[in-house]
Structures are given as C-alpha cells and as structure tokens.
Structure 1
Amino acid sequence: MAQINQAGVTAMPPYFGTVLRNGSSGPDCAQVQTWLNGVHSRWPQVPSVTVDGKYGNNTANAVKAFQTLAGITADGQVGSTTWNALYGEFADIRGAGEVFCGITARSGNKGAVVKSMQQKLIRIRQVYTAISSISADGAFGNASSGAVKQFQRQFALTIDGSFGRNTFAALAKVYGQVMAGTPTPVLPRYPGLLQRGSTGDSVRCVQSYLSALGGTVPKVTIDGQYGSATTASVRSFQRLARLTEDGKVGPATWSGLVMAFNRTL
C-alpha cells in the first residue's frame, strides 16, 4: 500500500458536507477530478479522468483506486475522509492551497467551491464596499451572482456573474492582498454618464468610492440609486478635485473618483 499524506489535513476548500457519488455533478465533482489528475503523476494506479464536473463510472473507479491506496473504504464515494485525504496528497505533490476546480461555477451550483468563493467576497467587501452583502451558505443564487458581477466590474473582468478561471484567479489575488494589508487598486471601466436617476452597479461604485473618502465629502448610502444625496456628494468631490460642479459622473469625474479611492487603499 502506498503512503498517502492525509494526517491532520484540512482541505482547501473545506469539505462541504455532501457526499459525492455516481450521478453527482457540479464544481465540487470537478474539484475531485482535478485532484485525482494531480495525484496520477505519483500514483499511476489512480486513472486520469475528464474534468467535467460529472461524477460517472470513470470518476468513481478513480476514487476507488485512490481509496485503496489510502487505506480508506473503497466505495467510490467522496465523503469528508476521502475529500481531505485526496486534497492532502494533491497538496503534497503540487503545493498547498486552493486551485481552480476546472469548470465554471454559476448560479444554481452548490458546495465547497461556491462557499469558498462567497467567503472571499464577504471578506474583501470590507474594503470594496460596492460589493453587496451575501451569505456564505454554499448556494450560488442571484445574490452571489450579483456580488460576483460587482467584483468583476471593479477588476476589469468579463461581467457575467459566473466563477470561471479568470475570476477565480483575480479573486484569489485580491483576497490574498487584502489579507496581507495591501489591497489591490480597482480598475473599473467607465460605464458612460451617470447622473440623478441612474441606477445599478456602476452607481454603487460611485457611492462606494465617495464613502471611502471619509469626511472630505458627504457619505452616501451604497444602494445603486443615484438620488439627491449622491448628486450632492459628487458635487462636493468635484469642488475638491477642481472639476466641473454639475453633480454628474462623466469620464473626468469617474477617473478622479477611481484614483481617489485607490489612494485610500
């Protein structure tokens, strides 16, 4: 029997609590498939599998092979013991840390991959307040999709509300830098003229950046509604920045707000 590194391991992402078996699908299944392929280089007895998030016979057989090597009941299912042992061996070969599961997570998915994403968004929201409040429940619903879009908007990513490879990498980087105390500057694209009556996530960005400036301009509620309070705060910012005081966010005011916010990081 091979020596499998599984003592005292907590996987990244941590086990969600749902046993994965033949017929299961989603990002957590893809995470298992990615780990299985990662251990194949050391343990060729574990067959390579297609990373598609579909837990079929090939994945079950590869899991059984791993479980046999690890001295785990070889039932072809992934509960907490197999999840942690498989991650532990993968991390021993490839290095510790969370890796992209291999498929895009999107609205309707559930599990450890989604929960980890939510936890990172919740933490960075303390800095990037344009991101809406969400729960780390592991369920990728409309609120989580909206928060992902708000993150993507601020870091020059495709704004689709899904959690693919590029968004995974960007979120991991931004989260790591927030935890290190060196937050990443935002890079939101100019969305077009914003003014009283405008709504949406770009308005939330304006409100967030204004609120980050402390007492230099009036704080506003970050609600995505461009009303009188936001107009007054924009005017105040424009006065300080020596921009045209019209209470509207054109390209010059947008650029000034982004730069001002980044200076607070």
Structure 2
Amino acid sequence: MTEEKITLTAQPPFYGTVLKNGSQGPDCAMVQTWINGLQGRWPSLPKLTVDGKYGSGTAKAVSQFQTLMGLTADGETGRNTWDALYTAWAGQKGAGEVFCGIIIVAAAKGAVVKSMQQKLDVCAAVYKSINKPETDGLFGSATGAAVRRFQREMGLSIDGMAGKTTWNKLVEATAAIRAGNPLPSAARYPNTVLKVGSTGDSVRCVQAWLGAVQNTSLKVDGQFGTGTRNAVIVFQTAAGLKADGMVGSATWNALRAAFNATL
C-alpha cells in the first residue's frame, strides 16, 4: 500500500462544511497552512498567503493537490480532501495539530474553533474560573469569555482572541492536564483590592482557588459576596495573613500559590 493510499483522520477532524471559493475563516487558513507545508514534497504547489480567505488561488492549489492524490479535482475541500491534506502534511511535518495561521476571533466557526473549545473544556475542569463553552464549533460570547479566563489564568494578554501564543499555551495546558501534571496558574494580581461588591474574572479566580484549596463548592460566579468574604477570612487565618476578608496582593499571591500546590 502506498503512502497516498493511507489516509489519517485529520487533527482537527473535518467539521462537515465543504470549503470552497468564497469561504472564510480558520478552517480555510488551516488548508492554506497544510498546503504550504507540502512544497518540500511537491515543489509545484504554490505558496499561499495564510489569510483564511478561500479565493481562486487556494482553490487552484487544492485542485492541484487533488490531482496529485488521485482525488476529484474540484478545488473544494470536503472530508476526503481535508483528511488527505492533513495526511500529506503530517508525512512531512509529523502528526499533530498546529496553529491554523490566523487569529481566531468571535463569530468564527468550524473544526479549528471546535478543537479550541474542546481544549478549553479540558482546562475548565482544573481551572474552574474558566467557564465551559459548548463544543459546537461556533465562536460565541461563551467561548470568548472562556478564552479570556484562560488567558488570565495563564498570565497572558487578555483579549478574548486566540492568536498563536494563546493557541500554543492552550495546547500545552491541555497536554499537561492529560499527562497529570497541570501547569501552575500565573494569573496576575489585578492591582485593585477585591472585596464585597467586587465583580469580574479576577473574583472568579479567587473563588475557584478557594474552592480547590478548601475543598468546598464555593460558587464561581464573579460576585464577591459574604460567602466569598468568609472563605477568604478562613484562608487568611490559616495562612497567617491579616484576616480582613479582602484580597490584596499578599492574599492574592498566597492564594494562587496554595492553589498551585493542589495541582
């Protein structure tokens, strides 16, 4: 059996939407990235601009690849072409999922978005400040919130979009969790004291960390109420800190370290 006859299921798996001239988004960028990885084997394949826009140049390159692989040369990327592209790319670069090549933003959809959501779900099981988005391949508000919260936990710039740095950290964090050695939280102190009445994702971090450290089911809702205050006081007392129920930099750093010790 020749290499061309062996077809792997792509990473990420085909989403179900045929990509063709006029299509846009991360999946189109993935096709462009895979094709660009094949020039070493097939120098005749054109070098594409990875912009996520499936124009005539991308369609022509896909058609040329299909001809080389004995597929119907229609210039469109359905399941068979998607898997064949990945298989050929993996043969050159090694199997595994890579960054698609463009920033993944709100309203994007497809296989790349679904894979990102699945990784966020894995991370949310450990870093409970992160909400679990639906793994439907649709980049809506819940997915954006999960990306922002992941970025906060990992100490990254927080913009709610998945560029190369965020994507690679998400891959790294997911692999670490699956290997049983989660990455430590690197969430930075928000430079404002958190107390009763405070809201937001920094409060979610505090609540998630307290729940893990104290092994309680403290609600992670981003609302600093009396329940959160009481849990902070318990932590501060045990840690030898001023037990005022407020989270300044000393309590933040001690709590983050205590959470990381639970991982």
- Give the Cα–Cα distance (whole angstroms) in 2 for the partners of residues 124 and 132 of structure 1: 9
Give the equivalent residue in structure 2 for 1:221. 219
Q: Is the 8 A contact 2:7 2:84 kept in 1?
A: no
- Give the Cα–Cα distance (whole angstroms) in 1 for the partners of residues 47 and 58 of structure 2: 9
The 3 A distance-change label for structure 1 pair 211 and 5 is farther
Query: Any stretches of 5+ residues in structure 1 without a counterpart?
Result: none
| Count of aligned pairs | 261
Alpha-carbon deviation of 1:259?
Answer: 0.1
Q: Out of 236, 258, 261, which is 2:259 matched to?
A: 261
Aligned-residue identity in percent: 53
Give the equivalent residue in structure 2 for 1:18. 17
1:202 is the counterpart of 2:177: no
Alpha-carbon deviation of 1:124?
Answer: 1.4
SS in 2 for 1:189: coil
Within 5 Å, give how 1:84-233 maps onto structure 2: 84-191=83-190, 192-215=192-215, 219-233=217-231
Query: Any stretches of 5+ residues in structure 2 without a counterpart?
Result: none
- TM-score normalised by L of structure 1: 0.96
- Give the Cα–Cα distance (whole angstroms) in 2 for the partners of residues 5 and 257 of structure 1: 54
Alpha-carbon deviation of 1:213?
Answer: 1.4
SS in 1 for 2:37: helix
Which amino acid in the other structure matches residue 100 of structure 2? C
Alpha-carbon deviation of 1:145?
Answer: 0.3
Extract structure 1 runs of 4+ deviating beyond 6 A.
none
- Give the Cα–Cα distance (whole angstroms) in 2 for the partners of residues 212 and 193 of structure 1: 21
Which amino acid in the other structure matches residue 232 of structure 1? N
- Give the Cα–Cα distance (whole angstroms) in 1 for the partners of residues 229 and 5 of structure 2: 57
Q: Is the 8 A contact 1:13 1:113 kept in 2?
A: yes
Give the equivalent residue in structure 2 for 1:248. 246
- Give the Cα–Cα distance (whole angstroms) in 1 for the partners of residues 194 and 105 of structure 2: 29
- Give the Cα–Cα distance (whole angstroms) in 2 for the partners of residues 175 and 219 of structure 1: 24
RMSD: 1.0
SS in 2 for 1:82: helix
* Cα displacement string for residues 92-149 of structure 1 (whole angstroms, at most 9, x for unaligned residues): 1001100110000110100000000000000111111110121000000110000000
Q: Is the 8 A contact 1:6 1:88 kept in 2?
A: no
SS in 1 for 2:19: coil
